[in-house]
Amino acid sequence: MKLYMLIGHPVEKSPSPAMHNAAFSHLGLECVYVAADVPPQALEDAVGGIRALGVAGVNVTIPHKVSVIPHIDELDESAELAGAVNTLKNVGGKLKGFNTDGAGALRALKSRTQIRGKRVLLLGAGGAARAIAFSLAIAGAELTIANRTIARARALAEDIREKVGRAVECVGLDERELTSRAMDADIIINATSVGMYPDSGRTLLTSGMIPRDAVVFDIVYKPAETRLLREAKKAGASVIAGIEMLVQQGALSFEIWTGKRAPIKVMRKAAEMELRRN
């Protein structure tokens, strides 16, 4: 029996165990996936425990995506670019870090729209936003990053310019400028925690700030329909819910660990059921 796990703080309501265990069961794999709440001060010990127990693979979530890096042995290019890790694979006792957030977001987007040449407004510049920004730049998007702390957005834009050779524009969250950029966008992505339960009444954009022909993607998956998505529907825009990224990044982790094609429909159904339960 192979052991897989999620580490983060908190993790008690995560749908990842239900999603991955459903996938293992569907494919007849003798594997189990559990969640472990690891506070920041215990991270080094937790990674040591992962090695000692021979855990085959790990998902890493907030707040450990960056801080786990000094404790592992190797980074895949996806994690190198993003400067963050959300997946670990145990390879002969060595822990290799990957980042599937960006590729997962692109998978979700490509089911609905093209990326190359599209004007994309990305809300946020930390955590998952970094991985998504790099993936969008590599895919040929014309990217603008909007962030409360504009210096952080500029630092990310410079990182992308140096590593990928793509220019990225940056704005703050001033309503007038944000509206102007949003109304000019083909794709709008919220990669912040704004609108996440329990603050589900919040949004950075309202219907009057969203063009009717845009695709609006909110990576927040709880609630299932965020206020941003409701505002986008009111504007007549197409929407992509956060569960799509949750499932797609999870499927990519599953494929890294097992070398098998992930049963995405099974994973989506399990995640939806778990989110409804919680």
Q: Tell me, yes or no, if 233 is annotated catalytic.
A: no
What is the distance in angstroms between the CA of the first residue and the CA of the last residue of the chain?
28
Assign domain 2-99+244-277 to its CATH architecture: 3-Layer(aba) Sandwich (3.40)
Q: Is the confidence at residue 278, as pLDDT, over 80?
A: no
Given 3-state DSSP classes, what are the helix, strand and coil percentages for the chain, each rounded to the nearest 5? 45, 20, 35
Non-local (6+) Cβ contacts of 143 within 8 A are 120, 122, 133, 136, 137, 160, 166, 168, 169
Q: In angstroms, how far is CA 52 from the centroid of its own chain?
A: 28
Pairwise CA distance, residues 207 & 229, whole Å: 9
- Res 277: pLDDT: 87
pLDDT at residue 251 greater than cutoff 80: yes
Q: From the candidates 13, 65, 89, 96, give the one annotated as an active-site residue.
A: 65
* pLDDT band for position 197 (cuts 50, 70, 90): confident
The residue type at 175: E
Share of the chain above pLDDT 90, in %: 93
Q: What is the pTM of this model?
A: 0.93
pLDDT, one tens digit per residue, over 136-185 is 999 999 999 999 999 999 999 999 999 999 999 999 999 999 999 999 99
Domain ranges (residues) in the chain: 2-99+244-277, 102-240
pLDDT tier at 258 (50, 70, 90 boundaries)?
A: very high
∠ CA 39-32-47 to the nearest 5 degrees?
A: 35
Tell me the sheet residues that pair with 7.
36, 60
Domains 2-99+244-277 and 102-240 share a fold: yes
258's CB contacts (< 8 A; 6+ apart) are: 27, 29, 31
Contact status, residue 58 vs residue 6, Cβ threshold 8 Å? yes
Question: What architecture is domain 102-240?
Answer: 3-Layer(aba) Sandwich (3.40)
